[in-house]
Every structure is written in C-alpha cells, then in structure tokens.
Chains A and B, each alone.
Chain A
Amino acid sequence: MAIKIIPAGKFPALRLNRRAASLLTHAILIVLGFVYTYPFLWIFASSFKTPGEFFSSGLSLIPRQLNLNNYVYAWQTGHFDTYFFNTVITTVATTLIVILLTSMAGYVLSKTSFPGKKVFIGGILVLMFLPAGYTIIPTFELVQKLGLLNSLLGIIVVQAAGGLIFNTLLFMGYFATIGKEVEEAALVDGANLPRIYWYVMLPMAKPMIATVGLFQFMINWNSFWIPLVFTLGNEKLRTLAVGLYAFVGENSTGWTYVSAGAVMSVIPILILFFFLQRYFIEAVAGAIKG
C-alpha cells in the first residue's frame, strides 16, 4: 500500500509515530508467528519427553532431558524405518516420472505440429476442469486387476497419473517461450527429435523442472488418500503419513512415540522448505499468475 511519503525531518512527532507503528506491527507479527508455528515446536519438544512428562507439563516447549527412546521405539518397533523407506521410494519415483512424461509431452505439444494435436490439447484442457477425487473406487479396481494392488508400483503409477495433466500444461507454456532458433540450429546439425529434447530443450527447461519437481515432491511426500487406500491390505507398504495415522490408532496411549514418528515424517520436508523456501513460494505464486 502506498502511503504518502512525508519528509520525516519536518515532523518529528510523525516520525516517532511511524516508528511506534512499525514496532507494533513487528510485535504482532512475531506473536502471531509464534502461535502459528507452536504446534510444530510443541511436537518437537514432546518427542523427547517421557509419557509422564507429556501429561504433567503439557504445553511446555522445553523437555527436561534429551531422551531419544521415543525415536528408537518408533524407528524399530513402530516400523518407521519401513515407512520412511517407502515414502522416499514412492516420492522420488513419482516425481521423476511426472517430470519426464510431462516435459516430453509439453515439448512436442508446443514445438511440433502433427495431425490430432489440437484434439489432444483440447482433451487436456477438459480433463483439467473435471474433478478427479471421486474416482478412487474404479481406480482401486483397475489397480487390483493389473495386479498392482499392495505394491509400491501401484501407488507410484496412480499418483504420477494424477500429476500429469496440470504439469503438461506448465511445460507446454514454458517451451512455447523458447525461441525457434535454438531448435533450428540443432536441426541443421542433423539431430533428431529425442536428441533435441534431451540435449537442447531439457537443459533449457531447468527452472520449470525445478518448479514441477519441488511441487511434486511436496505433494507426494504428503499424500495420504491414495497410499492409504492402496495399502489397506499390507502394512509393510505404508508411507509415513499412513503409518502415522495407523500408529495413532494402534498406540492410543503411546503419545510420545507418536510425537517422535510425527517429527520424523515432517523433518525432511521442513528442511527442504527451509533451504528452498523462495522456490517453494515462487512455485505456488506462479500457479496463480498463469
């Protein structure tokens, strides 16, 4: 908001006022920010507490001692080692598949012309606006028929398919901004389409790859509904989110173990966010601008 700039020297009272207002704004924002992140700080503190301490000093953020038993229990007895491994595998595989398939499709849809192209793009635009969340039952049946039920591959293909439409459009838009000269130079050198894609176009699309990759990583690390439904029959395939949910049900008294499990499932994504927060936020902001 533009506020009239008044030379502060002329009006000392006003300058003081402005300083006070700025201090007040910061004070409010800091208090709000603390309240906002309190649940995370609290779960982190709780993961070191003993069960007795958990209930006696409920809201405190400083555990009496750094007791790692909860982590050991959650990791070994609570199967969080398996959940962690499953989450890493499904997240990384899904993210790579989505990047590869959507960049390939986005490339040919924006840079080549062939019969049926407009129909294909029209189809993508229609699918973009159809709600997808209500088709879990036939998806489940299909995965079962394909023999992929109760396998990590089943989760991977279903999750990847869910990310294809939107990201193809993103890559299409991105490649459209790259000038023709680049491609033509490569064509003169006699490169065929896969070579141009791999050696010329893909390296130029690094910013979009980063955006799509980061977003996909976050979505897949956090996804719950699909891994939940597709691992109902096999506990060993649970991801962190599903495992945590099940852990709560199975350990209705072991709150401190659950806290440790929760910290383990959130720390990787929070660390990633901490280092790459600018890109996270730009990726989100970019979605609304486009």
Chain B
Amino acid sequence: MSTQSVATVRKVLGFSIPWNPQHLLKQIKKNYWSYLFLLPMAVLVGLFVIYPMVASVHITLYDWNGIGNPTRFVGLRHFFTVARDGLFWNAVKHTFTYALVLVPIQLTLALALALVLNNPRLKGSTVYRAVFFSPVVTSAALVGVVVSLLLSSSGMNLSMALVDAGIISSPIDWLGDPRFSLAAVIGVGIWHTLGYNLVYFLAALQSIPKELYEAADLDGANAWQQFTKVTVPMLREVGAVIVFLAILGSLQVFDLVLVMTGGGPYFSSEVVSTYIYHYAFTPASIQVESNVGYASAAALFMGLLVMGITAMQLVAVKYAHERRAEIK
C-alpha cells in the first residue's frame, strides 16, 4: 500500500493519530464505552436490516418452497422467468400508475391547501390543518376497511346518484369492477396521505423569508407573479424532497391494496408488493405453490428499480439545491 492510500484509509477511519497499531489498540480500549453503546443498535441492524439484504440475493438463486434449506440451485433462472411473466409487468405497471397518478394530484391539492392555510389572516388555520392531517395518523389497513364498508353500504347509492345525474349510464361496483378497482384505491390513497404533504408544504412556505415578498411587493408584483417568481423557485429544493418522498412511499404501496381489493379482481389492481406477497405467503389461493426464490427475485428486481429512481432523485434534489443557492 502506498503512503498516500494509507493516509486515505486513516482519514476514512477517522484517525487523527499517527499510524501505530499499539496506539490504535489503546484508542479502542480507551473508548470501549462508545463501542458498547453502539453494539445493541449495530446488532439489530446487522441482523434485521443488512443480513436480509444480502440473503435476499442468495435466495433468488434457488428453487425453494420456503421449508427447510434451499437446495435446488437454479442460477439466474428466476430473473428470466420474472422478466417474462406478464403478471409481474402487469403489477409493475399498476405500481407506477398508482405513483404517477397519485403523486401529481395529491401534491397539487396539498400545495393549494397549504397556500390557503398559510395566509396569516386566516383564523383557525391550525384547526383546519389538524382536520386534513387526521387521516395520516390512522393505518392504511383501517382506512381500507372503512372505505370497503362505506362502499358496500352506500357505494350503490353513490353510483345511483351518478346515474341519475346522467354522468354514468349504469351503476358501478367500485371495488369489484376491474375497470375501477385501481382508480378507487388511488382515490383513497390520495385522501389518506395528503396530510403529510400539506404539513411539509406549510413548513416549507413558512421558511421563505418574508422580505422576499416585501421586495416583490415594492416592485409591483401581483399575487400570481409573487407565486411564480418567489414561492415556486424558493420551494424547489424542499419540493424536490417532497416529490421524492411521495414517489418512494407510493411505489411501496401494500396495505391499502391488500385490504381494499387484494390485488383483484382478475389482478386489475395487483401491485408489485401484493404480487410478491401472493407468491411468497399464500400458496393455496392463487398460485399453485409458493416459490420463495421466485418471489425474492421479483422483490430484488423491484428493489433495484426503486434504487435507480432514488439515485435519479438525489441528483434532482442536488440540482434544485444549487438553483436555490443561486437565487439567494
């Protein structure tokens, strides 16, 4: 190892001391409490976060029904099967449809609401904020159950009202009709987590310096110009993070779909996470037999896809950050 690389390694490892094994040992001994304090956290993370990531790669290489040790090595075959499975791509398509429809609608509504509630002269804005935030504190499973009940009790009334109003020609079975099941789940998804984005946007709006508006005011900018020339550019950085969190969250949708439709009818609302769940954990109902290796391959496939999107978004956030710095 060259002197330079030794220096780099030492820098990375955080030594401010000359390279000396005895000294290092002394440092380690001296700081034993620090290591002991990290130990419980490190053990749990190692076991239940890092190990599963590594093991999930290993499992994909085997044919395995989940009982005992995986024995039949199949190499990369599962990946080829996944890539050729129409139902998998169907689930991928629904997952992205879910994210790409939900995120723009939800963020637009949340931003509009945040702009209204951010008005300092609006009385009771904290009460409204709490009202619109309240679905967030409840579980997606509960929301799914409540909406299913509501639709089974009154979904008929709702669609009959739409028929009477001449909007649709025949009553709709919201969750039981393959044409509407995914749309119904998306609609409920928008309602359920809008509160998060409302609060994010409110926090972001409040962080914009008041002087910028005062200056724009002096320049004679109207409300719309202030919105496009001050608010939007100043929101770009936090906005990128909000979009990023919203996309990541919606790509992992599971509870809502499983509880509301179970991915059906006829796979019309199946997303990747329910697809994986069905393969790995419910052998009897849909698939012939559970194949954990196959399900892991599908999971890894999707995980890599999500990681790619994450990397792209990190670049976007960095770009927005630089733009904001320019404005300042």
- Chain A residues in the interface with B (C-beta under 8 A): 1-4, 22, 25-26, 29, 32-33, 36-37, 39-40, 42-43, 46, 54-55, 58-59, 101-102, 104-105, 107-109, 112-120, 122, 127, 129-142, 157-158, 160-162, 164-165, 168, 192-194, 197, 218, 221-225, 229, 232, 241-242, 244-245, 248, 255, 258-259, 262, 265-266, 269-270, 272-273, 277-278, 280-281, 284-286, 288-289
**Contact between B38 and A164 (Cβ–Cβ < 8 Å)?**
no
**Contact between B200 and A262 (Cβ–Cβ < 8 Å)?**
no
Contacts of A113 in B (CB 8 A): 14, 16, 31
**Contact between A127 and B306 (Cβ–Cβ < 8 Å)?**
no
Please tell me which one of the listed residues B42, B149, B196 contacts residue A46 in the complex, with CB atoms under 8 A apart: B149
**Contact between B55 and A141 (Cβ–Cβ < 8 Å)?**
yes
The number of residue pairs between A and B whose CB atoms lie closer than 8 Å in the complex comes to 289
Contacts of B47 in A (CB 8 A): 142, 157, 161
Give, as a whole number of angstroms, the nearest-CB distance from B281 to chain A: 6
Q: List 8 A-B contacts (CB under 8 A).
A: A40-B135, A118-B14, A134-B302, A136-B52, A141-B59, A157-B44, A245-B141, A284-B136
**For the complex of A and B, 8 pairs with smallest distance between CB atoms:** A222-B139, A161-B48, A114-B31, A138-B55, A135-B52, A285-B203, A134-B303, A58-B154
* A2 and B153 contact, Cβ closer than 8 Å, known pairs A107-B37, A120-B38, A284-B196: no
- Contact residues of A: prevailing secondary structure: helix
Please tell me which one of the listed residues A33, A105, A161 contacts residue B38 in the complex, with CB atoms under 8 A apart: A105
A118-B14, A137-B280 known, 4 other contacts, Cβ within 8 Å: A25-B116, A157-B44, A241-B141, A277-B133
Contacts of A102 in B (CB 8 A): 41
Minimal Cβ-Cβ distance residue in B for A43:
B146
Please tell me which one of the listed residues B115, B142, B152, B303 contacts residue A255 in the complex, with CB atoms under 8 A apart: B152
Give, as a whole number of angstroms, the nearest-CB distance from B44 to chain A: 4
* A218 CA to B33 CA, complexed, in Å: 32
Give, as a whole number of angstroms, the nearest-CB distance from A31 to chain B: 12
**Interface residue B227 (Cβ < 8 Å from any Cβ of A):** yes
**Contact between A59 and B292 (Cβ–Cβ < 8 Å)?**
no
**Interface residue B13 (Cβ < 8 Å from any Cβ of A):** yes
Contacts of B38 in A (CB 8 A): 104-105, 108-109, 120
Minimal Cβ-Cβ distance residue in A for B292:
A137
* A259 CA to B30 CA, complexed, in Å: 59
Minimal Cβ-Cβ distance residue in B for A139:
B52
**Contact between A36 and B132 (Cβ–Cβ < 8 Å)?**
yes
* A142 CA to B154 CA, complexed, in Å: 45
Please tell me which one of the listed residues A119, A133, A223, A280 contacts residue B14 in the complex, with CB atoms under 8 A apart: A119
Contacts of B135 in A (CB 8 A): 36, 40
Contacts of B306 in A (CB 8 A): 131, 134
Most A C-beta atoms less than 10 A away, residue of B136, B147, B204: B136
Please tell me which one of the listed residues A104, A116, A118 contacts residue B41 in the complex, with CB atoms under 8 A apart: A104
**Interface residue B86 (Cβ < 8 Å from any Cβ of A):** no
**Contact between A115 and B51 (Cβ–Cβ < 8 Å)?**
no
**Contact between B48 and A289 (Cβ–Cβ < 8 Å)?**
no
* A46 CA to B150 CA, complexed, in Å: 10
A-contacting 9-mer, from B167-175, B179-187, B210-218, B320-328: B210-218
**Contact between B24 and A115 (Cβ–Cβ < 8 Å)?**
yes
Minimal Cβ-Cβ distance residue in A for B224:
A1
* A289 CA to B199 CA, complexed, in Å: 11
Give, as a whole number of angstroms, the nearest-CB distance from B9 to chain A: 10
Minimal Cβ-Cβ distance residue in A for B28:
A115
* A242 and B49 contact, Cβ closer than 8 Å, known pairs A33-B132, A288-B242, A289-B207: no
**Contact between A42 and B150 (Cβ–Cβ < 8 Å)?**
yes
**Contact between A39 and B147 (Cβ–Cβ < 8 Å)?**
yes
Minimal Cβ-Cβ distance residue in B for A101:
B41
Please tell me which one of the listed residues B42, B213, B238, B258 contacts residue A2 in the complex, with CB atoms under 8 A apart: B213
Give, as a whole number of angstroms, the nearest-CB distance from A167 to chain B: 10
Minimal Cβ-Cβ distance residue in A for B248:
A131
Give, as a whole number of angstroms, the nearest-CB distance from A11 to chain B: 17
* A248 CA to B142 CA, complexed, in Å: 11
* A1 CA to B122 CA, complexed, in Å: 11
Please tell me which one of the listed residues A118, A165, A255 contacts residue B149 in the complex, with CB atoms under 8 A apart: A255
Give, as a whole number of angstroms, the nearest-CB distance from B239 to chain A: 10
**Interface residue B316 (Cβ < 8 Å from any Cβ of A):** no
Contacts of B280 in A (CB 8 A): 136-137, 140
Give, as a whole number of angstroms, the nearest-CB distance from A64 to chain B: 15
Contacts of A140 in B (CB 8 A): 280
